[in-house]
Structure 1
Amino acid sequence: MSEFIPPGTRFFDLPSPFPMKRGGHLQQARLAYETWGELSPQRDNAILILTGLSPSAHAATQPDNPEPGWWEAMLGPGKAIDTNRFFVICCNSLGSCKGSTGPASLNPGTGQTWRLDFPDISVEDIAAAAHALVESFGIGELASLIGCSMGGMSALAYLQLFPGASRSHINVSGAALALPFSIAIRSLQREAIRLDPAWNQGQYDADTYPESGMRIARKLGVVTYRSALEWDGRFGRVRLDSDRREDDPFGLEFEVESYLEGHARRFIRVFDPNCYLYLSRCMDWFDLGEYANGDAMAALAALQVPRTRVLGVTTDILFPIQQQEQIAAGLRAGGHQAECLALPSPQGHDAFLVDFGRFSPAVADFLADI
């Protein structure tokens, strides 16, 4: 498979060799990123955004890419993350297929696609790559570090690995460790991909793409990204207009099924299955507590970040609100100023991507004081 790189993407060459936490290293690796705003002469107005599993670095419109970004409503002049004031960097996670080096990239040692020869990737590797990018701008301390979903994990790893790297932090629907329910869901997603015969131990191409496995994996994900409240309010038990086909007696019958099918089909050909497997697994492995004898609260208390706002959603089942409350409580235990805002959005884990009426004021209010 090939990579899926948005127009206008910029690239940073990582130090070579780039060591990986779980063993091995990368040669000639790169990180895809985009920037908005102007870096101040003092280099003290930078914000770094770390993304969830699937987004690219294209968080907002660029001159070279007028397509709306995945956080378009949050980032730009006069918006919550105000590019008139801040220099904003968003990087695509190491291990992804949106421009950063990952399993879908070429291995310079062989000239072939990495596939399953790619080294095991960790959340810490993602954080270390992002930090190298920030250092390349001559930025010694970020004004704020923002992490969303998997990026919330990456942000905590960033703060752990690089003490004092940011004056403030916004953790959006993140977690200090993976919970059993989330691990179970992601395990099923990976199993769906691996059991598709077309996956073929990672040896697929555009003509033999494991479409069924990716469809099911994506559907499982989307079910957990939203809440039961939203599914009920949005679809109820509304049936499709068409009758059931005799040749497919157990096919799509309800509108919610049709929605999931459409969502999955839009995703499957724009994300590499092997990259999905690697990044999904790295979230399951993450546990900040390993830096404090298994005590996540102690590890959070030891982080050096003066001010933090943790945003969570009361209907989130994938990264439930108690995980955001844990982050804030752990930071406060270390003597830091930290608060958790539990937002009552009906849209579950995906709320930060759609419920801007709640998330925008919460982010803007915090950044106004840094």
Structure 2
Amino acid sequence: MSEHIPPGTAWYSLPSPFPMKRGGQLHGARLAYETWGRLNADASNAILILPGMSPDAHAAHSEADPRPGWWDWMIGPGKPIDTRRWFVVCVNPLGSCKGSTGPASIDPATGQPYRLRFPELSIEDMADAASHLVRGLGITQLACVVGNSMGGMAALALLARHPGIARSHVNICGAARALPFSIAIRSLQREAIRLDPHWNDGQYDDQAYPETGMRIARKLGVITYRSALEWDGRFGRVRLDPEQRDDDTPFGLEFEVERYLEGHARRFVRAFDPNSYLYLSRSMDWFDLGESHGGDVHAVLATLTGLRQALVIGVKTDILFPIQQQEEIAAGLRSAGCQTRFLAMPSPQGHDAFLVDEARFGPALAEFLHTVPLHAHDPGKVA
């Protein structure tokens, strides 16, 4: 299975060897990233975006890659993350298959893909890799680090492991630790992949590929990314027209919602490496920001005293990263003396609302970033 690399991608070479938190190291590893806007003279106007599990670094269109990005409505001139003011960097996480080094990448020691020889991956590894990219771009301190979903986990790890790396933080549908429900869902997704005979202990190729396992894994994920409220309002109990059904297949697709999930899954399965999916999924299960403090997340968040401002956003209908997890983050940041605003969005779209609910999320980020000082020595504004 080959990597999927967007045409506008740039690469940053990580230190070699690059040590991994849970043991092992990488040689010749790199991160894929894209940028928008221009870095100012004192390199103080940089915003780092850490995305969720499946997106690539192409968050918005650019001259190098005019395709719409996964957050195109959020990033650009005059948009909530205004590239006339900010220099924006989006990094594909370490372990992914979208340009950064991961299980689908070539192991320089063997000349073959890493597959399951890739070291155990942690959220902390992603954070450490991102910190090297930031420094490598000549940025001493970020104006803001923005983390969505898994990226919200990585952003917290970045702030905790690299004190002072950012003046402000936006955490969207993130978490300081994995909860049992999320772990259970991801466990089922991994099991679906591993039990597909074509997975073959990670030794698949394009001809013998674990498509069924990936389809089921993706369907499970999509179900948790949205809310029951949206599924009901969007599909109800609408049945497929007779010509759209496969009556020759026992218990085949009958409802419109089933067809939607099937189409969504089929578009995904060949666009994401199964082994990378397994590694990234497990890294979220392992993440617990409070691990170094006896499991006390609040104690770790309280140490982030260099952070001036934060915006924490949760979605009331999110079942994958439920809103109490964002409330926990906001409370912990406040205890560190960080001026923190918490927003509980009533979006019906669930966990994925930040990708589609422009009317709510756009103004929230625009208002917050308006209060973030452009230079490190400037006082912040009150929203």
TM-score of the superposed pair, with normalisation by structure 1: 0.99
Aligned partner of 2:110 in structure 1 is 110
Q: CA deviation at 1:340?
A: 1.2
Aligned partner of 2:312 in structure 1 is 310
Matches within 5 A, 1:257-276: 257-276=258-277
Shifted more, 242-251 versus 215-224: the winner is: 242-251
Contact 2:312 2:326 in 1 (8 A): yes
Q: CA deviation at 1:32?
A: 0.2
**Counterpart secondary structure, 1:141:** coil
Contact 2:314 2:344 in 1 (8 A): yes
Distance 1:353 1:132 in 2: 27
Give the aligned residue type for 2:292.
Answer: Y
Q: CA deviation at 1:174?
A: 0.1
Aligned partner of 1:185 in structure 2 is 185
Q: CA deviation at 1:345?
A: 0.2
Q: 1:244-285: per-residue Cα shift (whole Å, max 9, x none)?
A: 544212000000000000000000000000000000000000
Aligned partner of 1:66 in structure 2 is 66
Aligned partner of 2:294 in structure 1 is 293
**Counterpart secondary structure, 1:302:** coil
Matching residue within 321, 324, 327 for 2:323: 321
Contact 2:227 2:350 in 1 (8 A): yes
Matches within 5 A, 1:356-367: 356-367=358-369
Distance 1:211 1:56 in 2: 21
Q: CA deviation at 1:34?
A: 0.3
Distance 1:208 1:89 in 2: 37
Give the aligned residue type for 2:298.
Answer: M
Contact 2:310 2:340 in 1 (8 A): yes
Contact 2:246 2:253 in 1 (8 A): no
Aligned partner of 1:57 in structure 2 is 57
Matches within 5 A, 1:24-43: 24-43=24-43
Distance 2:308 2:120 in 1: 32
Q: 1:285-313: per-residue Cα shift (whole Å, max 9, x none)?
A: 00001122210111111123111100110
**Counterpart secondary structure, 2:107:** coil
Q: CA deviation at 1:338?
A: 1.2
Distance 1:281 1:324 in 2: 21
Give the aligned residue type for 2:338.
Answer: H
Distance 2:246 2:322 in 1: 39
1:226 matches 2:226? yes
Aligned partner of 2:132 in structure 1 is 132
Distance 2:224 2:75 in 1: 26
Aligned partner of 2:256 in structure 1 is 255
Percent of aligned pairs sharing the same letter: 69
Matches within 5 A, 1:192-231: 192-231=192-231
Distance 2:144 2:246 in 1: 54
Structure 1 gaps of 5+ residues are none
Aligned partner of 1:368 in structure 2 is 370
Aligned partner of 1:343 in structure 2 is 345
* Number of residue pairs matched by the alignment: 370
**Counterpart secondary structure, 1:158:** helix
**Counterpart secondary structure, 2:11:** strand
Q: CA deviation at 1:145?
A: 0.4
Give the aligned residue type for 2:49.
Answer: I
Distance 1:182 1:144 in 2: 27
**Counterpart secondary structure, 2:242:** coil
**Counterpart secondary structure, 1:309:** strand
Distance 1:155 1:269 in 2: 28
Give the aligned residue type for 2:368.
Answer: F
Aligned partner of 1:89 in structure 2 is 89
Distance 1:358 1:191 in 2: 36
1:18 matches 2:3? no
Q: 1:66-119: per-residue Cα shift (whole Å, max 9, x none)?
A: 100000000000100000000000000000000000000000011010000000
Contact 2:151 2:174 in 1 (8 A): yes
**Counterpart secondary structure, 1:367:** helix
Matching residue within 348, 351, 354 for 1:352: 354
Distance 1:85 1:208, change over 3 A: same
Q: 1:119-146: per-residue Cα shift (whole Å, max 9, x none)?
A: 0010000011111001011111000000
Give the aligned residue type for 1:315.
Answer: T
In the TM superposition, structure 1's runs of 4+ consecutive aligned residues that sit over 2 Å from their partners are 243-247
**Counterpart secondary structure, 2:52:** coil
Distance 1:115 1:132 in 2: 24
Distance 1:324 1:70 in 2: 23
Shifted more, 16-25 versus 286-295: the winner is: 286-295
Distance 1:139 1:365 in 2: 24
**Counterpart secondary structure, 1:368:** helix
Give the aligned residue type for 1:14.
Answer: L
**Counterpart secondary structure, 1:338:** strand
Shifted more, 150-159 versus 246-255: the winner is: 246-255
Distance 1:176 1:193 in 2: 27
Distance 1:104 1:289 in 2: 31
Aligned partner of 1:284 in structure 2 is 285
Aligned partner of 1:100 in structure 2 is 100
